[in-house]
Protein backbone atom coordinates (compact mmCIF):
# COMPACT_ATOMS: atom_id res chain seq x y z
CA UNK A 1 0.00 0.00 0.00
CA UNK A 2 1.27 3.43 -0.88
CA UNK A 3 2.67 4.99 2.36
CA UNK A 4 1.33 8.40 1.37
CA UNK A 5 -2.25 7.15 1.21
CA UNK A 6 -2.38 4.32 3.73
CA UNK A 7 -4.51 4.62 6.86
CA UNK A 8 -2.17 4.76 9.88
CA UNK A 9 -3.13 2.32 12.62
CA UNK A 10 -1.76 4.62 15.29
CA UNK A 11 -0.11 7.98 15.76
CA UNK A 12 3.15 8.52 17.58
CA UNK A 13 2.95 7.97 21.37
CA UNK A 14 3.74 11.56 22.40
CA UNK A 15 0.75 12.79 20.44
CA UNK A 16 -1.72 11.79 23.17
CA UNK A 17 -0.09 14.19 25.63
CA UNK A 18 0.21 16.91 22.99
CA UNK A 19 -3.46 16.54 22.11
CA UNK A 20 -4.41 16.89 25.76
CA UNK A 21 -2.39 20.09 25.97
CA UNK A 22 -3.92 21.28 22.68
CA UNK A 23 -7.42 20.89 24.06
CA UNK A 24 -6.43 22.84 27.15
CA UNK A 25 -4.79 25.67 25.19
CA UNK A 26 -7.71 25.90 22.79
CA UNK A 27 -10.26 26.17 25.58
CA UNK A 28 -8.08 28.70 27.44
CA UNK A 29 -8.18 30.99 24.39
CA UNK A 30 -11.96 30.72 24.35
CA UNK A 31 -12.28 31.42 28.09
CA UNK A 32 -10.04 34.48 27.84
CA UNK A 33 -12.12 35.88 24.99
CA UNK A 34 -15.35 35.39 26.96
CA UNK A 35 -13.82 36.89 30.11
CA UNK A 36 -12.88 40.02 28.19
CA UNK A 37 -16.30 40.15 26.52
CA UNK A 38 -17.93 40.21 29.96
CA UNK A 39 -15.48 42.88 31.15
CA UNK A 40 -16.35 45.08 28.17
CA UNK A 41 -20.06 44.77 28.98
CA UNK A 42 -19.40 45.57 32.62
CA UNK A 43 -17.04 48.53 32.26
CA UNK A 44 -16.74 49.56 28.56
CA UNK A 45 -13.05 50.00 29.37
CA UNK A 46 -11.02 50.96 26.30
CA UNK A 47 -8.11 48.64 27.10
CA UNK A 48 -10.52 45.72 27.53
CA UNK A 49 -12.10 46.48 24.17
CA UNK A 50 -8.74 46.42 22.43
CA UNK A 51 -7.70 43.29 24.35
CA UNK A 52 -10.94 41.59 23.32
CA UNK A 53 -10.15 42.34 19.67
CA UNK A 54 -6.74 40.67 20.00
CA UNK A 55 -8.19 37.75 21.97
CA UNK A 56 -10.80 37.15 19.27
CA UNK A 57 -8.06 37.07 16.63
CA UNK A 58 -6.02 34.60 18.66
CA UNK A 59 -9.01 32.35 19.21
CA UNK A 60 -9.72 32.37 15.48
CA UNK A 61 -6.09 31.35 14.86
CA UNK A 62 -6.46 28.43 17.28
CA UNK A 63 -9.75 27.46 15.67
CA UNK A 64 -8.15 27.48 12.23
CA UNK A 65 -5.28 25.33 13.50
CA UNK A 66 -7.44 22.56 14.96
CA UNK A 67 -10.57 22.66 12.76
CA UNK A 68 -9.17 20.35 10.05
CA UNK A 69 -9.44 17.44 12.49
CA UNK A 70 -13.05 18.04 13.42
CA UNK A 71 -15.88 16.92 11.14
CA UNK A 72 -18.47 19.30 12.49
CA UNK A 73 -20.75 21.78 10.72
CA UNK A 74 -20.73 24.00 13.84
CA UNK A 75 -17.29 25.24 12.76
CA UNK A 76 -18.79 27.63 10.20
CA UNK A 77 -21.15 29.27 12.68
CA UNK A 78 -18.37 29.61 15.24
CA UNK A 79 -15.98 31.14 12.72
CA UNK A 80 -18.62 33.54 11.43
CA UNK A 81 -19.65 34.71 14.89
CA UNK A 82 -16.13 35.41 16.12
CA UNK A 83 -15.03 37.02 12.85
CA UNK A 84 -18.01 39.38 13.00
CA UNK A 85 -17.03 40.39 16.55
CA UNK A 86 -13.41 41.04 15.52
CA UNK A 87 -14.49 43.24 12.63
CA UNK A 88 -16.72 45.41 14.81
CA UNK A 89 -13.94 45.89 17.36
CA UNK A 90 -11.36 46.92 14.73
CA UNK A 91 -13.05 50.21 13.79
CA UNK A 92 -12.51 51.80 17.21
CA UNK A 93 -8.86 50.82 17.21
CA UNK A 94 -8.26 52.62 13.89
CA UNK A 95 -9.97 55.78 15.13
CA UNK A 96 -8.02 55.80 18.40
CA UNK A 97 -4.74 55.33 16.53
CA UNK A 98 -5.67 58.15 14.17
CA UNK A 99 -6.42 60.48 17.10
CA UNK A 100 -3.05 59.67 18.70
CA UNK A 101 -1.18 60.03 15.41
CA UNK A 102 -2.58 63.40 14.41
CA UNK A 103 -2.30 64.76 17.95
CA UNK A 104 1.41 63.87 17.87
CA UNK A 105 2.05 65.35 14.42
CA UNK A 106 -0.11 68.48 14.67
CA UNK A 107 -0.04 71.10 17.40
CA UNK A 108 -2.44 69.74 20.08
CA UNK A 109 -4.43 72.96 20.39
CA UNK A 110 -4.75 73.34 16.62
CA UNK A 111 -5.76 69.70 16.23
CA UNK A 112 -8.49 69.90 18.88
CA UNK A 113 -10.00 72.90 17.09
CA UNK A 114 -9.97 71.16 13.72
CA UNK A 115 -12.78 69.55 11.77
CA UNK A 116 -10.63 66.43 11.61
CA UNK A 117 -10.67 66.11 15.40
CA UNK A 118 -14.42 66.63 15.70
CA UNK A 119 -15.08 64.13 12.89
CA UNK A 120 -12.87 61.49 14.48
CA UNK A 121 -14.39 61.94 17.94
CA UNK A 122 -17.89 61.78 16.48
CA UNK A 123 -17.02 58.56 14.66
CA UNK A 124 -15.53 57.23 17.89
CA UNK A 125 -18.80 57.77 19.72
CA UNK A 126 -20.65 55.90 16.97
CA UNK A 127 -18.16 53.03 17.18
CA UNK A 128 -18.65 52.69 20.93
CA UNK A 129 -22.38 52.29 20.37
CA UNK A 130 -21.83 49.70 17.64
CA UNK A 131 -19.37 47.77 19.80
CA UNK A 132 -21.61 47.62 22.82
CA UNK A 133 -24.51 46.42 20.69
CA UNK A 134 -22.38 43.76 18.98
CA UNK A 135 -20.79 42.54 22.22
CA UNK A 136 -24.17 42.28 23.91
CA UNK A 137 -25.50 40.31 20.92
CA UNK A 138 -22.57 37.87 20.93
CA UNK A 139 -24.19 34.66 22.17
CA UNK A 140 -21.38 32.84 23.96
CA UNK A 141 -23.88 30.41 25.47
CA UNK A 142 -24.70 28.58 22.26
CA UNK A 143 -21.18 29.05 20.90
CA UNK A 144 -19.67 27.66 24.11
CA UNK A 145 -21.45 24.36 23.46
CA UNK A 146 -19.97 24.28 19.97
CA UNK A 147 -16.47 24.98 21.32
CA UNK A 148 -16.77 22.16 23.83
CA UNK A 149 -18.03 19.84 21.10
CA UNK A 150 -15.07 20.71 18.89
CA UNK A 151 -12.66 20.02 21.75
CA UNK A 152 -14.33 16.69 22.46
CA UNK A 153 -13.70 15.64 18.86
CA UNK A 154 -10.03 16.66 18.91
CA UNK A 155 -8.79 13.10 19.51
CA UNK A 156 -6.19 10.60 18.36
CA UNK A 157 -8.84 9.03 16.16
CA UNK A 158 -9.36 12.32 14.32
CA UNK A 159 -5.62 12.47 13.59
CA UNK A 160 -5.58 8.88 12.35
CA UNK A 161 -8.50 9.62 10.06
CA UNK A 162 -6.38 12.30 8.36
CA UNK A 163 -3.31 10.05 8.06
CA UNK A 164 -1.26 12.20 10.45
CA UNK A 165 1.54 10.31 12.15
CA UNK A 166 1.90 12.83 14.97
CA UNK A 167 0.76 16.18 16.27
CA UNK A 168 4.33 17.42 15.92
CA UNK A 169 4.39 16.46 12.23
CA UNK A 170 1.12 18.30 11.69
CA UNK A 171 2.45 21.43 13.41
CA UNK A 172 5.56 21.29 11.23
CA UNK A 173 3.40 21.06 8.12
CA UNK A 174 1.28 24.03 9.22
CA UNK A 175 4.38 26.08 10.03
CA UNK A 176 5.72 25.60 6.50
CA UNK A 177 2.36 26.63 5.03
CA UNK A 178 2.29 29.74 7.24
CA UNK A 179 5.81 30.72 6.16
CA UNK A 180 5.42 30.24 2.39
CA UNK A 181 3.37 33.42 1.73
CA UNK A 182 5.86 35.38 3.84
CA UNK A 183 8.72 34.12 1.67
CA UNK A 184 6.77 34.99 -1.50
CA UNK A 185 5.77 38.50 -0.38
CA UNK A 186 8.91 39.85 1.30
CA UNK A 187 10.71 41.06 -1.83
CA UNK A 188 7.68 42.89 -3.24
CA UNK A 189 6.73 44.43 0.11
CA UNK A 190 9.65 46.88 0.12
CA UNK A 191 8.50 48.46 -3.17
CA UNK A 192 6.72 51.75 -2.31
CA UNK A 193 3.76 51.11 -4.62
CA UNK A 194 3.14 47.60 -3.25
CA UNK A 195 0.68 48.42 -0.46
CA UNK A 196 -1.34 45.31 -1.23
CA UNK A 197 1.73 43.10 -0.80
CA UNK A 198 2.59 44.76 2.51
CA UNK A 199 -0.97 44.28 3.75
CA UNK A 200 -0.89 40.58 2.80
CA UNK A 201 2.57 40.20 4.35
CA UNK A 202 1.40 41.75 7.62
CA UNK A 203 -1.48 39.27 7.83
CA UNK A 204 0.78 36.33 6.96
CA UNK A 205 3.32 37.30 9.64
CA UNK A 206 0.55 37.77 12.19
CA UNK A 207 -0.77 34.28 11.44
CA UNK A 208 2.69 32.73 11.78
CA UNK A 209 3.23 34.58 15.06
CA UNK A 210 -0.13 33.45 16.46
CA UNK A 211 0.69 29.90 15.38
CA UNK A 212 3.90 29.87 17.44
CA UNK A 213 2.16 31.48 20.40
CA UNK A 214 -0.40 28.67 20.34
CA UNK A 215 2.00 25.74 19.98
CA UNK A 216 4.69 27.01 22.40
CA UNK A 217 2.92 25.76 25.57
CA UNK A 218 1.74 22.62 23.76
CA UNK A 219 5.24 21.59 22.71
CA UNK A 220 6.89 23.21 25.75
CA UNK A 221 9.29 25.11 23.48
CA UNK A 222 10.71 28.61 23.86
CA UNK A 223 10.06 30.56 20.68
CA UNK A 224 10.80 33.94 22.28
CA UNK A 225 13.53 35.11 19.82
CA UNK A 226 11.38 34.30 16.80
CA UNK A 227 8.24 35.80 18.37
CA UNK A 228 10.12 39.02 19.14
CA UNK A 229 11.36 39.21 15.54
CA UNK A 230 7.87 38.58 14.16
CA UNK A 231 6.44 41.19 16.51
CA UNK A 232 8.97 43.74 15.24
CA UNK A 233 7.95 43.04 11.65
CA UNK A 234 4.27 43.06 12.54
CA UNK A 235 4.59 46.38 14.36
CA UNK A 236 6.40 48.05 11.47
CA UNK A 237 3.95 46.71 8.89
CA UNK A 238 1.05 47.57 11.19
CA UNK A 239 2.12 51.20 11.25
CA UNK A 240 2.31 51.22 7.48
CA UNK A 241 -1.16 49.70 7.34
CA UNK A 242 -2.38 52.40 9.72
CA UNK A 243 -1.49 55.02 7.12
CA UNK A 244 -3.83 53.34 4.64
CA UNK A 245 -6.52 53.04 7.33
CA UNK A 246 -6.17 56.73 8.22
CA UNK A 247 -6.49 57.69 4.56
CA UNK A 248 -9.69 55.65 4.37
CA UNK A 249 -11.05 57.46 7.42
CA UNK A 250 -10.23 60.81 5.81
CA UNK A 251 -12.00 59.84 2.59
CA UNK A 252 -15.28 59.45 4.49
CA UNK A 253 -15.03 62.88 6.17
CA UNK A 254 -16.15 66.28 4.98
CA UNK A 255 -13.05 68.33 5.71
CA UNK A 256 -11.91 71.79 4.63
CA UNK A 257 -9.51 71.56 1.67
CA UNK A 258 -6.63 72.95 3.70
CA UNK A 259 -7.11 70.36 6.46
CA UNK A 260 -7.41 67.48 4.01
CA UNK A 261 -4.33 68.61 2.09
CA UNK A 262 -2.25 68.96 5.26
CA UNK A 263 -3.39 65.61 6.64
CA UNK A 264 -2.57 63.85 3.37
CA UNK A 265 0.85 65.49 3.26
CA UNK A 266 1.58 64.32 6.80
CA UNK A 267 0.49 60.77 5.97
CA UNK A 268 2.64 60.64 2.83
CA UNK A 269 5.70 61.81 4.74
CA UNK A 270 5.09 59.30 7.52
CA UNK A 271 4.62 56.45 5.05
CA UNK A 272 7.97 57.28 3.44
CA UNK A 273 9.74 57.19 6.83
CA UNK A 274 8.06 53.93 7.82
CA UNK A 275 8.83 52.28 4.50
CA UNK A 276 12.48 53.18 4.92
CA UNK A 277 12.44 51.69 8.44
CA UNK A 278 10.85 48.52 7.08
CA UNK A 279 13.51 48.20 4.38
CA UNK A 280 16.25 48.59 7.01
CA UNK A 281 14.55 45.95 9.17
CA UNK A 282 14.47 43.47 6.27
CA UNK A 283 18.21 43.98 5.76
CA UNK A 284 19.13 43.94 9.45
CA UNK A 285 17.01 40.99 10.56
CA UNK A 286 15.91 38.96 7.53
CA UNK A 287 13.04 36.56 8.17
CA UNK A 288 14.05 32.95 7.54
CA UNK A 289 12.22 29.73 8.18
CA UNK A 290 12.62 28.02 11.53
CA UNK A 291 10.74 25.40 13.52
CA UNK A 292 12.12 24.08 16.81
CA UNK A 293 11.32 20.45 17.61
pLDDT at 9: 42
Query: Higher confidence at residue 6 or residue 49?
Result: 49
How many whole angstroms separate alpha carbon 120 and alpha carbon 141?
35
Report the pLDDT averaged over residues 17-31. Answer: 94
Q: What is the pLDDT of residues 205-231, one digit of tens each?
A: 999 999 999 999 999 999 999 999 999
Question: Nearest-CA neighbor of 59 among 127, 132, 144?
Answer: 144
How many whole angstroms separate alpha carbon 33 and alpha carbon 155?
24
Residue 190 in contact with residue 279, Cβ under 8 Å?
A: yes
Q: What is the pLDDT of residues 157-211, one digit of tens each?
A: 877 776 666 788 889 999 999 999 999 999 999 999 999 999 999 999 999 999 9
pLDDT higher than 70, residue 3: no
How many whole angstroms separate alpha carbon 177 and alpha carbon 181?
8
How many whole angstroms separate alpha carbon 37 and alpha carbon 58?
14
pLDDT at 4: 41
User: How many H-runs (helices) and E-runs (strands) does the chain carry?
Assistant: 11, 0
Taking CA 92 as the corner, what is the angle to CA 88 and CA 94, rounded to the nearest 5 degrees? 110
Q: What is the pTM of this model?
A: 0.89
Round to the nearest angstrom and report the end-to-end CA distance of the chain: 29
Q: From residue 246, how far is each of 60, 144, 191, 194 by CA, in Å?
A: 26, 36, 20, 17
pLDDT at 158: 77
Question: Nearest-CA neighbor of 102 among 116, 88, 90?
Answer: 116
pLDDT higher than 80, residue 109: yes
Amino acid sequence: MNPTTQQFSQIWPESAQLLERSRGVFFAYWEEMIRLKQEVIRTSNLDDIHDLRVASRRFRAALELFCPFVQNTAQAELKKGVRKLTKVLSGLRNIDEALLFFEDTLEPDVFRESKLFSSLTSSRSDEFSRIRKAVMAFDEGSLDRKVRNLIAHLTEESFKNRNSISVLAYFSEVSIKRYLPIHQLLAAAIVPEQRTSRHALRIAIKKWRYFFEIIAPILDRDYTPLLEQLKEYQTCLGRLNDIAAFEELLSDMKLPKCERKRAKSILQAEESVLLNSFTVLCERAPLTYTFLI
